A and B are shown apart, each in its own frame.
Chain A
């Protein structure tokens, strides 16, 4: 069994590289999209609110795999062709960004109304109220749910298997296709690696949480 692990681990490590890269890029995109959409959904202008709401509902109403296929197989019909990696980052980033926008929106709405009123009484402008008073407090509330979202995102990256991007899952599948008898070892290893990455991410999020909230939340 040790021999088998020694045989399979090196190629899988390469897959880990792709998975980590994919997770990283998609997370950055997802967080950006989440903030943009979340703020748009709270806009003063009903048109901005309407467009962002529709976008979020379309993304949430279909499913990640459908979106992945759509970007991969359908975009070329429009004359746009992405690499598998770009497709993965786009689809995953947009999908989890749409879910994340709900976190941003609800965290901002959860800041007590008195905070806005106090900021008005001090004559801060609309923009200053948002930047200096509301968002810093909303951020503290966002960290734990964003942590969960990033774990979901990590799991979601495994779907690039379908568009033949050589991530951890895809590589493991090719390994098992040539070594049927070792399916148990390969898939167990695969599950453990995902679990480990997720645990590391959880630790990271906890660290951020501690930094952000240090003694400040009433």
Chain B
């Protein structure tokens, strides 16, 4: 399933490392994500999986290595054949192809729900407000929150907030979207509604998705490929059946058995 050598990857991590001071959290990762592919990234906390997503969203700069998005370097530019650090203008250009949903939603508290969803298309894509509102309403409809459009985020439940955050990211029509532990901050009874929305989006298909998650059943159901990271490296990867039913490495076996025991 991940043998798609004929197709060009939409995201390509090459020998990516990341350190904070003396602490190296990513120790050399290579990873390709193909258009419309859904990958789930699992692993113990501190394994660097969130950092992987944040580097793609340009929230954290890799210490070394390169990331390509849609055939173009993300954090670097080629000037006279040499790699130099990208400026904000370059980042701005590439960033348009990437979207992200955060663990803590990060909705804008001073804007109504509709405004949250339409602000970026108006400001960044230069859409008219009318046009943006049309698309915004479509997306709010998709996540089932059209009746909340005039509310403020503080009036919504956590699950509703996260659904708005998903709509807000979708409106920008990214080619790849990072879902960073989007259910970890939710009360257990609200997890389902958010996962259902993501499954629905995944079924539509056209967007690549990077699902950083602790929800194993969800990863298994949605992902085309599962990446298991531990200690800053990719320890094992493969289709969900293989990863969950026939884990090869001892590390993954331990992780899964501990995880199942907890549930």
Using CB atoms and an 8 Å cutoff, list the residues of chain A in contact with chain B.
112, 114-115, 117-118, 120-126, 128, 132-133, 136-137, 140, 215-218
B98 to chain A, nearest CB (A): 8
* Interface residue B107 (Cβ < 8 Å from any Cβ of A): yes
**Is B58 positioned at the interface, with any CB of A under 8 Å from its CB?**
yes
- Least distance between B94 CB and chain A CB atoms (Å): 10
Asked if A216 and B110 make an inter-chain contact with CB atoms under 8 angstroms apart, the answer reads yes
Q: A114 touching B172 by the CB < 8 A rule?
A: no
Q: Look across to chain A and name the residue whose beta carbon is closest to the beta carbon of B107.
A: A118
Check: B59 CB closer than 8 A to any chain A CB.
yes
Give the residue of A120, A124, A126 whose beta carbon is less than 8 angstroms from that of B58.
A120
Q: What are the nearest 5 A-B pairs in CB distance?
A: A118-B106, A122-B120, A114-B106, A121-B100, A218-B154
B240 at the interface (CB under 8 A from A): no
CB proximity of A127 to chain B, nearest CB, Å? 10
CB of B255 closer than 8 Å to a CB of A: no
A-B contact count (CB 8 A): 70
Tell me whether B110 and A137 are in contact (CB under 8 A).
yes
Query: From residue B173, how far is it (CB to closest CB) to chain A in Å?
Result: 11
Give the residue of A117, A132, A217 whose beta carbon is less than 8 angstroms from that of B109: A217
A residues less than 8 Å from B153 (CB atoms) = 218
Q: Is the CB of A115 within 8 A of B100?
A: no
CA distance A136 to B115 in the complex (A): 14
| B109–A121 touching, CB < 8 Å | no
List of B residues within 8 angstroms of A118 by Cβ: 102, 106-108, 165
Further pairs besides A120-B59, A121-B59, A216-B109: 15, Cβ < 8 Å: A117-B59, A118-B106, A118-B108, A121-B57, A121-B95, A122-B172, A123-B96, A123-B124, A123-B172, A125-B124, A136-B110, A137-B110, A140-B110, A215-B154, A218-B154
Asked whether A132 and B100 contact (CB < 8 A) given A117-B106, A125-B92, A137-B109, the answer is no
Q: Which chain A positions have C-beta within 8 A of B169?
A: 121-122
Can you report 8 residue pairs joining A to B where beta carbons are below 8 Å apart? Answer: A114-B106, A117-B59, A118-B102, A121-B98, A122-B168, A125-B92, A133-B108, A137-B110
Q: A114 to B109: give the CA distance in the assembly, Å.
A: 12
A115: chain B residues at CB < 8 Å are 106, 108
B123 interfacial contact with A, CB 8 Å = yes
CB distance from B57 to the nearest CB of A (A): 5
Is residue B99 within 8 Å, beta carbon to beta carbon, of the partner chain? yes
Contact call B109/A218, Cβ cutoff below 8 A: yes
Q: B244 contacts which chain A residues (CB < 8 A)?
A: none
A81 to chain B, nearest CB (A): 46
In angstroms, Cα B152 to Cα A218, docked, is: 9
Interface residues of B in 57-112 (CB under 8 A from A): 57-59, 88, 92, 95-96, 98-100, 102, 104, 106-110
How distant is B263 from chain A, measured CB to nearest CB, in Å?
28
- Whether B123 and A128, one on each chain, are in contact in the complex, defined by CB atoms closer than 8 angstroms, is yes
Residue of A nearest to B109 (CB): A218
Q: Would you call B119 an interface residue if the criterion is a C-beta within 8 Å of the partner chain's C-beta atoms?
A: yes
Nearest-neighbour CB distance to chain A for B232, whole angstroms, equals 22
Shortest Cβ gap from A189 to chain B (Å): 44
Q: Which residues of A contact B155 (CB under 8 A)?
A: 215
CB distance from A137 to the nearest CB of B (A): 5
A9 vs chain B, min Cβ distance (A): 45
A115 to B59, CA, bound (A): 12
Q: What is the chain A residue whose CB lies nearest that of B168?
A: A122
Q: Which of A133, A140, A216, A217 has most chain B Cβ within 10 Å?
A: A216
A214 to chain B, nearest CB (A): 9
Are B110 and A123 neighbours in the complex by a CB distance under 8 Å? no
Minimal Cβ-Cβ distance residue in B for A128: B123
Determine the distance from Cα of A44 to Cα of B196 in the docked complex, in whole angstroms: 42
Nearest-CB residue, chain A, relative to B178: A121
Partner of B95 from A112, A117, A120, A140 at Cβ < 8 Å: A120
Task: Name the residue of chain A whose CB is nearest to the CB of B121.
Answer: A122
* B8 CB, nearest partner CB in chain A, Å: 23
Q: How far is the CA of A118 from the CA of B164 in the complex (A)?
A: 13
Complex Cα gap A46–B154 (Å): 37
Docked complex Cα distance between A124 and B119 (Å): 9
For the complex, give the distance between the alpha carbons of A124 and B96 in Å. 10
